[in-house]
Structure 1
Amino acid sequence: MPALLRRRRGAVPTTGVAALLAAGLVLSAGPALAFAPADSDKSEVRAVTTTTAALSPGQSGWLSVVWTSDNTVRDWSTTVSAPPGVTVTYPTTRGGSDTSLYGSDTLVGSTKDFTAFKLKVPYTQTGSFKVVLTSTYTVGAGNSDEHGKGNNRKTYQASATVTVPVQAATGADFTQQTTSLGIKAGSNGFQKIAFTGGQTDLARFTVRLGDLPAGLEVAYPGDRSSTGLNGDTTLVGGSSDYAGVRFIATDLKPGTYKIPVTVSYTAASPQTRTTSLTLTAS
Protein backbone atom coordinates (compact mmCIF):
# COMPACT_ATOMS: atom_id res chain seq x y z
CA MET A 1 0.00 0.00 0.00
CA PRO A 2 1.45 3.43 -0.92
CA ALA A 3 2.49 5.67 1.90
CA LEU A 4 -0.09 8.27 2.86
CA LEU A 5 0.82 11.78 3.91
CA ARG A 6 -1.52 13.60 6.25
CA ARG A 7 -1.37 17.13 7.59
CA ARG A 8 -3.72 19.77 8.81
CA ARG A 9 -3.54 23.04 6.88
CA GLY A 10 -1.74 25.64 8.93
CA ALA A 11 -0.52 23.12 11.53
CA VAL A 12 2.69 24.03 13.36
CA PRO A 13 5.18 21.17 13.95
CA THR A 14 5.42 19.99 17.54
CA THR A 15 8.56 21.52 19.09
CA GLY A 16 8.37 20.25 22.66
CA VAL A 17 11.46 18.03 22.45
CA ALA A 18 13.50 20.74 20.72
CA ALA A 19 12.56 23.23 23.45
CA LEU A 20 13.75 20.87 26.18
CA LEU A 21 17.10 20.42 24.47
CA ALA A 22 17.51 24.17 24.02
CA ALA A 23 16.96 24.65 27.76
CA GLY A 24 19.81 22.28 28.52
CA LEU A 25 17.65 19.60 30.08
CA VAL A 26 18.81 15.99 29.86
CA LEU A 27 16.32 13.43 28.60
CA SER A 28 16.72 10.06 30.23
CA ALA A 29 17.05 7.03 28.02
CA GLY A 30 13.81 5.19 27.47
CA PRO A 31 11.13 4.42 24.93
CA ALA A 32 10.31 7.12 22.35
CA LEU A 33 7.26 9.21 23.13
CA ALA A 34 4.77 10.26 20.43
CA PHE A 35 3.25 13.69 20.72
CA ALA A 36 0.02 14.24 18.78
CA PRO A 37 -2.08 17.40 18.93
CA ALA A 38 -5.44 16.87 20.56
CA ASP A 39 -7.21 17.95 17.36
CA SER A 40 -5.08 15.85 14.97
CA ASP A 41 -6.75 13.78 12.27
CA LYS A 42 -7.64 10.36 13.64
CA SER A 43 -9.74 9.22 10.69
CA GLU A 44 -6.89 7.19 9.13
CA VAL A 45 -7.89 7.97 5.55
CA ARG A 46 -5.89 5.81 3.15
CA ALA A 47 -5.93 4.49 -0.41
CA VAL A 48 -6.62 0.80 -0.93
CA THR A 49 -5.57 0.81 -4.59
CA THR A 50 -1.86 0.64 -5.35
CA THR A 51 -2.10 -0.17 -9.08
CA THR A 52 -4.86 0.90 -11.49
CA ALA A 53 -6.13 -0.85 -14.59
CA ALA A 54 -3.68 -0.79 -17.50
CA LEU A 55 -3.74 1.73 -20.33
CA SER A 56 -2.02 1.62 -23.71
CA PRO A 57 0.10 4.25 -25.48
CA GLY A 58 -2.36 6.58 -27.19
CA GLN A 59 -5.33 5.53 -25.07
CA SER A 60 -7.83 7.63 -23.12
CA GLY A 61 -9.46 5.82 -20.25
CA TRP A 62 -11.25 6.24 -16.94
CA LEU A 63 -9.45 4.89 -13.89
CA SER A 64 -10.45 4.55 -10.25
CA VAL A 65 -8.71 4.50 -6.89
CA VAL A 66 -10.45 3.01 -3.84
CA TRP A 67 -10.24 4.75 -0.45
CA THR A 68 -11.21 3.78 3.08
CA SER A 69 -11.05 5.34 6.57
CA ASP A 70 -11.61 4.38 10.17
CA ASN A 71 -13.97 7.28 10.84
CA THR A 72 -16.39 9.23 8.69
CA VAL A 73 -15.02 12.19 6.73
CA ARG A 74 -16.90 14.70 4.54
CA ASP A 75 -16.51 17.26 1.75
CA TRP A 76 -14.23 14.94 -0.23
CA SER A 77 -12.21 16.39 -3.12
CA THR A 78 -9.37 14.73 -5.06
CA THR A 79 -6.93 16.12 -7.61
CA VAL A 80 -4.44 14.08 -9.62
CA SER A 81 -0.87 14.96 -10.65
CA ALA A 82 0.49 13.06 -13.66
CA PRO A 83 3.82 13.07 -15.58
CA PRO A 84 4.32 15.57 -18.42
CA GLY A 85 2.37 14.56 -21.52
CA VAL A 86 -0.30 12.65 -19.60
CA THR A 87 -3.56 14.60 -19.55
CA VAL A 88 -5.91 14.41 -16.55
CA THR A 89 -9.66 14.97 -16.92
CA TYR A 90 -12.25 15.01 -14.14
CA PRO A 91 -16.02 14.32 -14.20
CA THR A 92 -17.98 17.31 -15.45
CA THR A 93 -20.49 16.94 -12.62
CA ARG A 94 -18.14 18.94 -10.37
CA GLY A 95 -17.13 21.48 -12.98
CA GLY A 96 -14.09 19.57 -14.21
CA SER A 97 -11.55 20.85 -11.66
CA ASP A 98 -11.52 17.86 -9.31
CA THR A 99 -13.21 14.55 -8.57
CA SER A 100 -15.07 13.29 -5.51
CA LEU A 101 -16.30 9.88 -4.40
CA TYR A 102 -18.71 7.74 -6.41
CA GLY A 103 -21.42 7.54 -3.77
CA SER A 104 -21.24 11.11 -2.45
CA ASP A 105 -18.66 13.47 -0.95
CA THR A 106 -18.80 11.57 2.36
CA LEU A 107 -16.63 8.54 3.12
CA VAL A 108 -18.36 6.63 5.91
CA GLY A 109 -16.00 5.09 8.46
CA SER A 110 -15.00 1.45 7.85
CA THR A 111 -16.49 1.49 4.31
CA LYS A 112 -14.90 1.89 0.88
CA ASP A 113 -15.60 4.20 -2.05
CA PHE A 114 -13.62 5.27 -5.11
CA THR A 115 -12.54 8.36 -6.97
CA ALA A 116 -12.68 8.31 -10.77
CA PHE A 117 -10.57 10.31 -13.22
CA LYS A 118 -9.64 10.07 -16.89
CA LEU A 119 -6.10 9.89 -18.26
CA LYS A 120 -5.03 10.42 -21.85
CA VAL A 121 -1.71 8.65 -22.42
CA PRO A 122 0.48 9.89 -25.29
CA TYR A 123 1.85 7.39 -27.79
CA THR A 124 5.34 8.23 -26.53
CA GLN A 125 4.49 6.85 -23.07
CA THR A 126 5.46 3.19 -23.41
CA GLY A 127 6.29 2.37 -19.80
CA SER A 128 4.31 2.35 -16.56
CA PHE A 129 4.14 5.61 -14.62
CA LYS A 130 2.92 6.95 -11.30
CA VAL A 131 0.25 9.49 -10.46
CA VAL A 132 -0.18 11.28 -7.15
CA LEU A 133 -3.66 11.75 -5.75
CA THR A 134 -4.20 14.48 -3.17
CA SER A 135 -7.49 14.28 -1.32
CA THR A 136 -8.87 16.93 1.01
CA TYR A 137 -11.73 16.29 3.41
CA THR A 138 -13.22 17.59 6.63
CA VAL A 139 -13.63 15.98 10.02
CA GLY A 140 -16.10 17.16 12.62
CA ALA A 141 -19.76 17.99 12.93
CA GLY A 142 -19.45 21.52 11.65
CA ASN A 143 -21.14 23.04 14.72
CA SER A 144 -20.22 24.06 18.25
CA ASP A 145 -18.23 21.58 20.33
CA GLU A 146 -19.15 20.32 23.79
CA HIS A 147 -17.86 23.55 25.32
CA GLY A 148 -20.00 25.70 23.03
CA LYS A 149 -16.94 27.02 21.22
CA GLY A 150 -17.00 27.65 17.50
CA ASN A 151 -17.14 25.34 14.52
CA ASN A 152 -15.24 22.10 15.18
CA ARG A 153 -15.04 20.99 11.53
CA LYS A 154 -11.41 20.89 10.35
CA THR A 155 -9.83 20.22 6.95
CA TYR A 156 -7.11 17.63 6.36
CA GLN A 157 -5.26 16.04 3.43
CA ALA A 158 -4.25 12.54 2.43
CA SER A 159 -1.98 11.66 -0.50
CA ALA A 160 -1.44 8.42 -2.37
CA THR A 161 1.01 7.46 -5.10
CA VAL A 162 -0.49 4.93 -7.49
CA THR A 163 1.07 3.03 -10.41
CA VAL A 164 -0.58 3.10 -13.84
CA PRO A 165 0.59 0.11 -15.94
CA VAL A 166 1.12 0.66 -19.67
CA GLN A 167 0.88 -2.21 -22.11
CA ALA A 168 0.75 -2.53 -25.89
CA ALA A 169 -2.65 -2.11 -27.56
CA THR A 170 -4.33 -5.11 -29.13
CA GLY A 171 -6.87 -5.45 -31.93
CA ALA A 172 -7.67 -3.32 -34.96
CA ASP A 173 -7.19 0.44 -34.85
CA PHE A 174 -10.83 0.92 -35.86
CA THR A 175 -13.86 -0.91 -37.27
CA GLN A 176 -15.96 0.39 -40.13
CA GLN A 177 -19.52 -0.18 -38.97
CA THR A 178 -21.18 0.93 -42.20
CA THR A 179 -20.07 -1.52 -44.87
CA SER A 180 -23.12 -1.21 -47.14
CA LEU A 181 -25.54 1.54 -48.15
CA GLY A 182 -28.71 1.66 -50.19
CA ILE A 183 -29.71 4.70 -52.22
CA LYS A 184 -32.14 5.54 -54.97
CA ALA A 185 -30.80 5.87 -58.49
CA GLY A 186 -31.04 9.53 -59.46
CA SER A 187 -30.96 10.70 -55.80
CA ASN A 188 -28.77 13.40 -54.33
CA GLY A 189 -28.15 13.39 -50.56
CA PHE A 190 -25.78 12.85 -47.65
CA GLN A 191 -25.15 9.40 -46.22
CA LYS A 192 -23.43 8.42 -42.98
CA ILE A 193 -20.47 6.03 -42.85
CA ALA A 194 -19.95 5.02 -39.22
CA PHE A 195 -16.73 3.95 -37.49
CA THR A 196 -15.86 2.67 -34.02
CA GLY A 197 -12.43 3.23 -32.53
CA GLY A 198 -10.23 0.43 -31.28
CA GLN A 199 -8.30 0.60 -28.04
CA THR A 200 -6.42 3.85 -28.73
CA ASP A 201 -7.26 7.35 -29.97
CA LEU A 202 -6.85 8.15 -33.68
CA ALA A 203 -6.21 11.81 -34.47
CA ARG A 204 -6.94 13.62 -37.76
CA PHE A 205 -9.35 10.90 -38.87
CA THR A 206 -10.48 11.46 -42.49
CA VAL A 207 -12.40 9.45 -45.11
CA ARG A 208 -12.25 9.57 -48.89
CA LEU A 209 -14.05 7.39 -51.44
CA GLY A 210 -11.99 5.95 -54.29
CA ASP A 211 -12.94 4.85 -57.83
CA LEU A 212 -16.63 5.52 -58.44
CA PRO A 213 -18.98 3.78 -60.87
CA ALA A 214 -20.13 5.65 -63.96
CA GLY A 215 -22.91 8.10 -63.21
CA LEU A 216 -21.99 8.60 -59.53
CA GLU A 217 -20.27 11.59 -57.99
CA VAL A 218 -19.52 12.32 -54.34
CA ALA A 219 -19.02 15.56 -52.46
CA TYR A 220 -17.65 16.28 -48.98
CA PRO A 221 -18.68 18.99 -46.48
CA GLY A 222 -17.10 22.35 -47.18
CA ASP A 223 -16.13 21.26 -50.71
CA ARG A 224 -13.07 19.55 -49.25
CA SER A 225 -11.23 16.66 -50.87
CA SER A 226 -12.17 14.33 -48.01
CA THR A 227 -14.43 14.31 -44.97
CA GLY A 228 -13.69 14.19 -41.29
CA LEU A 229 -15.82 12.92 -38.46
CA ASN A 230 -19.03 14.59 -37.40
CA GLY A 231 -18.16 14.94 -33.70
CA ASP A 232 -14.43 15.61 -33.58
CA THR A 233 -11.20 15.31 -35.52
CA THR A 234 -10.20 12.41 -33.23
CA LEU A 235 -11.86 9.00 -33.14
CA VAL A 236 -11.57 8.27 -29.43
CA GLY A 237 -10.79 4.67 -28.58
CA GLY A 238 -13.96 2.67 -27.95
CA SER A 239 -16.27 5.44 -29.20
CA SER A 240 -18.28 5.71 -32.42
CA ASP A 241 -18.69 8.55 -34.90
CA TYR A 242 -19.55 8.94 -38.55
CA ALA A 243 -18.31 10.66 -41.68
CA GLY A 244 -20.85 12.37 -43.96
CA VAL A 245 -20.56 11.90 -47.73
CA ARG A 246 -22.92 13.29 -50.34
CA PHE A 247 -23.85 10.78 -53.05
CA ILE A 248 -24.85 12.45 -56.30
CA ALA A 249 -26.45 9.58 -58.20
CA THR A 250 -28.13 11.62 -60.91
CA ASP A 251 -26.95 9.35 -63.74
CA LEU A 252 -26.23 6.19 -61.76
CA LYS A 253 -27.91 3.08 -63.06
CA PRO A 254 -29.55 0.64 -60.64
CA GLY A 255 -27.17 -2.03 -59.44
CA THR A 256 -24.70 -3.01 -56.74
CA TYR A 257 -21.26 -1.44 -56.67
CA LYS A 258 -18.19 -1.91 -54.49
CA ILE A 259 -16.38 1.34 -53.74
CA PRO A 260 -12.93 1.54 -52.10
CA VAL A 261 -12.70 3.74 -49.01
CA THR A 262 -9.42 5.34 -47.94
CA VAL A 263 -9.19 6.09 -44.21
CA SER A 264 -6.30 8.25 -42.97
CA TYR A 265 -5.43 8.97 -39.35
CA THR A 266 -2.55 9.54 -36.97
CA ALA A 267 -1.71 7.06 -34.23
CA ALA A 268 1.92 6.78 -33.16
CA SER A 269 2.57 7.91 -36.77
CA PRO A 270 0.41 8.76 -39.82
CA GLN A 271 -1.48 5.73 -41.13
CA THR A 272 -3.62 4.92 -44.18
CA ARG A 273 -5.97 1.99 -44.47
CA THR A 274 -8.19 0.96 -47.38
CA THR A 275 -11.62 -0.55 -46.71
CA SER A 276 -14.67 -0.87 -48.95
CA LEU A 277 -18.31 0.14 -49.14
CA THR A 278 -21.00 -1.83 -50.97
CA LEU A 279 -23.45 0.61 -52.57
CA THR A 280 -26.79 -0.62 -53.87
CA ALA A 281 -28.76 1.72 -56.14
CA SER A 282 -32.40 0.83 -56.74
Structure 2
Amino acid sequence: MSAPAPRRTLLGRAALVAVGAGVVVLGAQSMGPAATPTPRAVAPVSSAPGAPASPDGPVTPLAPESDLVDASVSTGLRPVTRTLGAVVAGQQSWVRIPWTTDTPVCAVTVTVAAAGADVGYPVNTGAYSSFYRQDRLAASVRDYTAVRFSVPAFSAATVVTADVTASYTTTAGAAGKASRACVGTNVTRTYRVTLPVQASAAGRDA
Protein backbone atom coordinates (compact mmCIF):
# COMPACT_ATOMS: atom_id res chain seq x y z
CA MET A 1 0.00 0.00 0.00
CA SER A 2 1.59 3.25 -1.10
CA ALA A 3 1.80 6.26 1.21
CA PRO A 4 -0.50 9.21 0.39
CA ALA A 5 1.11 12.02 -1.54
CA PRO A 6 2.23 14.86 0.73
CA ARG A 7 0.03 17.93 0.72
CA ARG A 8 1.51 21.06 -0.70
CA THR A 9 1.23 24.19 1.36
CA LEU A 10 1.57 27.54 -0.36
CA LEU A 11 3.08 30.05 2.05
CA GLY A 12 3.56 33.73 1.48
CA ARG A 13 0.90 33.95 -1.21
CA ALA A 14 -2.24 36.03 -0.74
CA ALA A 15 -5.54 34.23 -1.13
CA LEU A 16 -7.74 35.71 -3.84
CA VAL A 17 -11.46 35.80 -3.25
CA ALA A 18 -13.73 36.96 -6.07
CA VAL A 19 -16.41 39.35 -4.88
CA GLY A 20 -18.85 40.49 -7.56
CA ALA A 21 -16.86 42.06 -10.35
CA GLY A 22 -13.78 42.72 -8.19
CA VAL A 23 -11.18 40.70 -6.32
CA VAL A 24 -10.32 41.00 -2.64
CA VAL A 25 -6.76 40.15 -1.66
CA LEU A 26 -6.53 38.56 1.77
CA GLY A 27 -3.32 38.49 3.73
CA ALA A 28 -1.34 40.87 1.53
CA GLN A 29 -0.04 43.90 3.39
CA SER A 30 2.19 46.75 2.40
CA MET A 31 4.95 47.26 4.94
CA GLY A 32 5.99 50.67 3.63
CA PRO A 33 4.49 53.91 4.99
CA ALA A 34 1.66 55.50 3.06
CA ALA A 35 2.66 58.50 0.97
CA THR A 36 -0.20 60.58 2.33
CA PRO A 37 -2.85 60.04 5.04
CA THR A 38 -6.08 58.46 3.85
CA PRO A 39 -9.52 59.63 5.00
CA ARG A 40 -10.92 57.38 7.72
CA ALA A 41 -13.40 55.77 5.35
CA VAL A 42 -14.80 56.42 1.91
CA ALA A 43 -18.50 57.01 1.59
CA PRO A 44 -20.40 54.51 -0.52
CA VAL A 45 -21.68 55.92 -3.78
CA SER A 46 -24.47 54.79 -6.06
CA SER A 47 -22.58 55.31 -9.32
CA ALA A 48 -19.46 53.46 -10.43
CA PRO A 49 -16.16 55.35 -10.64
CA GLY A 50 -15.98 57.27 -13.87
CA ALA A 51 -19.75 57.63 -14.16
CA PRO A 52 -21.45 61.05 -14.12
CA ALA A 53 -22.87 62.33 -10.87
CA SER A 54 -26.37 61.14 -10.14
CA PRO A 55 -28.94 63.74 -11.26
CA ASP A 56 -31.19 62.62 -8.41
CA GLY A 57 -28.75 63.69 -5.70
CA PRO A 58 -29.78 66.42 -3.26
CA VAL A 59 -29.09 69.92 -4.50
CA THR A 60 -28.31 72.57 -1.89
CA PRO A 61 -28.27 76.18 -3.09
CA LEU A 62 -25.24 78.33 -2.38
CA ALA A 63 -25.50 80.69 0.56
CA PRO A 64 -26.30 84.37 0.05
CA GLU A 65 -23.31 86.69 0.16
CA SER A 66 -24.47 88.10 3.49
CA ASP A 67 -23.98 84.68 5.16
CA LEU A 68 -20.39 84.24 4.02
CA VAL A 69 -17.36 84.94 6.19
CA ASP A 70 -15.28 87.71 4.67
CA ALA A 71 -11.99 86.54 3.18
CA SER A 72 -10.07 88.95 5.41
CA VAL A 73 -11.24 87.26 8.64
CA SER A 74 -8.27 85.46 10.19
CA THR A 75 -9.63 84.31 13.55
CA GLY A 76 -11.54 81.25 14.69
CA LEU A 77 -11.77 77.98 12.77
CA ARG A 78 -11.13 78.70 9.09
CA PRO A 79 -9.83 77.03 5.92
CA VAL A 80 -6.10 77.44 5.33
CA THR A 81 -6.85 78.22 1.67
CA ARG A 82 -9.94 79.19 -0.33
CA THR A 83 -8.67 77.36 -3.46
CA LEU A 84 -8.91 73.59 -3.02
CA GLY A 85 -7.51 70.67 -5.02
CA ALA A 86 -8.68 69.98 -8.56
CA VAL A 87 -11.51 67.59 -9.40
CA VAL A 88 -11.80 65.55 -12.61
CA ALA A 89 -15.05 65.62 -14.55
CA GLY A 90 -16.67 62.18 -14.72
CA GLN A 91 -14.80 60.92 -11.65
CA GLN A 92 -15.45 60.87 -7.93
CA SER A 93 -12.72 63.10 -6.52
CA TRP A 94 -11.91 63.16 -2.81
CA VAL A 95 -10.70 66.62 -1.85
CA ARG A 96 -9.06 67.70 1.39
CA ILE A 97 -10.15 70.95 3.02
CA PRO A 98 -7.31 72.04 5.35
CA TRP A 99 -8.25 73.90 8.54
CA THR A 100 -6.56 75.92 11.24
CA THR A 101 -7.76 77.77 14.33
CA ASP A 102 -6.45 80.22 16.90
CA THR A 103 -8.68 78.87 19.67
CA PRO A 104 -9.47 75.26 20.67
CA VAL A 105 -12.62 73.92 19.02
CA CYS A 106 -14.59 70.69 19.36
CA ALA A 107 -17.69 68.91 17.98
CA VAL A 108 -16.67 70.07 14.50
CA THR A 109 -18.92 69.15 11.57
CA VAL A 110 -18.41 70.34 7.99
CA THR A 111 -20.98 70.31 5.20
CA VAL A 112 -20.59 71.49 1.61
CA ALA A 113 -22.95 72.83 -1.05
CA ALA A 114 -21.50 72.98 -4.56
CA ALA A 115 -22.72 74.46 -7.82
CA GLY A 116 -22.60 71.85 -10.60
CA ALA A 117 -21.29 68.97 -8.48
CA ASP A 118 -22.65 66.20 -6.27
CA VAL A 119 -21.16 66.06 -2.76
CA GLY A 120 -20.47 63.06 -0.52
CA TYR A 121 -18.88 62.44 2.87
CA PRO A 122 -16.87 59.69 4.63
CA VAL A 123 -19.01 56.67 5.49
CA ASN A 124 -18.30 56.88 9.21
CA THR A 125 -19.78 60.38 9.44
CA GLY A 126 -22.47 60.05 6.78
CA ALA A 127 -24.15 63.44 6.38
CA TYR A 128 -21.09 65.56 7.14
CA SER A 129 -17.31 65.42 7.41
CA SER A 130 -15.01 66.01 10.37
CA PHE A 131 -11.27 66.03 10.92
CA TYR A 132 -9.04 63.12 9.98
CA ARG A 133 -7.93 62.46 13.56
CA GLN A 134 -10.96 63.45 15.66
CA ASP A 135 -13.74 66.04 15.85
CA ARG A 136 -11.69 68.68 17.69
CA LEU A 137 -8.68 70.85 16.95
CA ALA A 138 -6.25 72.62 19.27
CA ALA A 139 -5.08 76.17 18.67
CA SER A 140 -2.35 76.56 16.01
CA VAL A 141 -2.78 72.93 14.89
CA ARG A 142 -3.85 71.94 11.36
CA ASP A 143 -6.04 69.09 10.20
CA TYR A 144 -8.31 68.46 7.25
CA THR A 145 -11.79 67.31 6.35
CA ALA A 146 -12.37 65.04 3.33
CA VAL A 147 -15.27 65.66 0.94
CA ARG A 148 -16.12 63.82 -2.27
CA PHE A 149 -17.05 65.86 -5.37
CA SER A 150 -18.61 64.35 -8.50
CA VAL A 151 -18.76 66.54 -11.61
CA PRO A 152 -20.61 65.20 -14.71
CA ALA A 153 -18.26 63.84 -17.38
CA PHE A 154 -19.32 66.30 -20.08
CA SER A 155 -19.51 69.36 -17.83
CA ALA A 156 -18.12 72.48 -19.49
CA ALA A 157 -17.24 74.04 -16.13
CA THR A 158 -13.62 74.90 -15.46
CA VAL A 159 -14.22 75.82 -11.82
CA VAL A 160 -16.59 74.52 -9.14
CA THR A 161 -17.78 77.06 -6.57
CA ALA A 162 -18.66 75.57 -3.19
CA ASP A 163 -19.84 76.83 0.19
CA VAL A 164 -18.16 75.12 3.13
CA THR A 165 -20.10 75.41 6.41
CA ALA A 166 -18.32 74.55 9.65
CA SER A 167 -20.34 74.15 12.86
CA TYR A 168 -18.35 73.78 16.06
CA THR A 169 -17.95 74.74 19.72
CA THR A 170 -15.17 77.02 20.94
CA THR A 171 -13.84 75.73 24.27
CA ALA A 172 -12.69 77.75 27.26
CA GLY A 173 -8.97 77.94 26.53
CA ALA A 174 -6.60 75.50 28.24
CA ALA A 175 -9.27 74.22 30.63
CA GLY A 176 -11.50 73.24 27.75
CA LYS A 177 -8.61 71.62 25.96
CA ALA A 178 -7.52 69.62 29.02
CA SER A 179 -10.94 68.13 29.63
CA ARG A 180 -12.67 66.00 27.04
CA ALA A 181 -15.99 67.74 27.69
CA CYS A 182 -17.06 69.90 24.77
CA VAL A 183 -18.44 72.99 26.52
CA GLY A 184 -18.35 76.52 25.19
CA THR A 185 -19.88 78.76 22.53
CA ASN A 186 -21.55 77.24 19.49
CA VAL A 187 -20.47 78.81 16.20
CA THR A 188 -21.46 78.31 12.56
CA ARG A 189 -19.46 79.82 9.71
CA THR A 190 -19.74 79.52 5.93
CA TYR A 191 -16.78 80.04 3.61
CA ARG A 192 -16.86 80.16 -0.18
CA VAL A 193 -14.14 78.13 -1.91
CA THR A 194 -13.29 77.15 -5.48
CA LEU A 195 -12.00 73.94 -7.08
CA PRO A 196 -10.46 73.74 -10.57
CA VAL A 197 -12.16 71.20 -12.88
CA GLN A 198 -10.07 69.03 -15.19
CA ALA A 199 -11.83 67.71 -18.31
CA SER A 200 -12.39 63.97 -18.50
CA ALA A 201 -10.79 61.91 -21.28
CA ALA A 202 -14.25 61.43 -22.82
CA GLY A 203 -14.87 65.16 -22.74
CA ARG A 204 -11.51 65.97 -24.37
CA ASP A 205 -12.14 63.43 -27.16
CA ALA A 206 -15.68 64.63 -27.88
Shorter chain as normaliser: what TM range?
A: 0.5 to 0.7
Compute the displacement of 1:44 (Å).
1.8
In structure 2, the residue matched to 1:69 is 101
Runs of 5+ in structure 1 lacking a partner?
7-41, 142-150, 171-266, 272-282
In structure 2, the residue matched to 1:60 is 92
Higher strand share: 1
Compute the displacement of 1:121 (Å).
0.7
In structure 1, the residue matched to 2:192 is 161
Runs of 5+ in structure 2 lacking a partner?
1-66, 173-181
State the distance in 2 between where 1:91 and 1:116 align.
7
The TM-score normalised by the length of structure 1 is 0.41
State the distance in 1 between where 2:88 and 2:68 align.
27
Q: How many residues align?
A: 126
CA contact (8 A) 1:5 1:157 kept: no
Compute the displacement of 1:4 (Å).
6.0
CA RMSD of aligned residues (A): 2.8
- Equivalences for residues 180-195 of structure 1 within 5 A: none
CA contact (8 A) 2:87 2:93 kept: yes
Aligned partner of residue 124 in structure 2, secondary structure: helix
Identity over aligned pairs, percent: 33
Letter in 2 for 1:93: N
State the distance in 2 between where 1:159 and 1:114 align.
16
State the distance in 2 between where 1:93 and 1:152 align.
24
Aligned partner of residue 149 in structure 2, secondary structure: strand
Structure 1 residues 124 and 168, CA gap change in structure 2 (3 angstroms): closer
CA contact (8 A) 1:43 1:72 kept: no
State the distance in 1 between where 2:132 and 2:91 align.
23
Residue from 131, 136, 140 that aligns with 1:110 = 140
Structure 1 residues 168 and 43, CA gap change in structure 2 (3 angstroms): closer
Structure with greater contact order relative to length (CA < 8 Å, sep ≥ 6): 2
Compute the displacement of 1:79 (Å).
0.3
Higher CA-based Rg: 1
Compute the displacement of 1:154 (Å).
1.9
Following superposition, which runs of at least 4 residues in structure 1 exceed 6 angstroms of deviation?
none
- Equivalences for residues 1-282 of structure 1 within 5 A: 5=69, 44-84=76-116, 86-94=117-125, 96-126=126-156, 127-141=158-172, 153-169=184-200
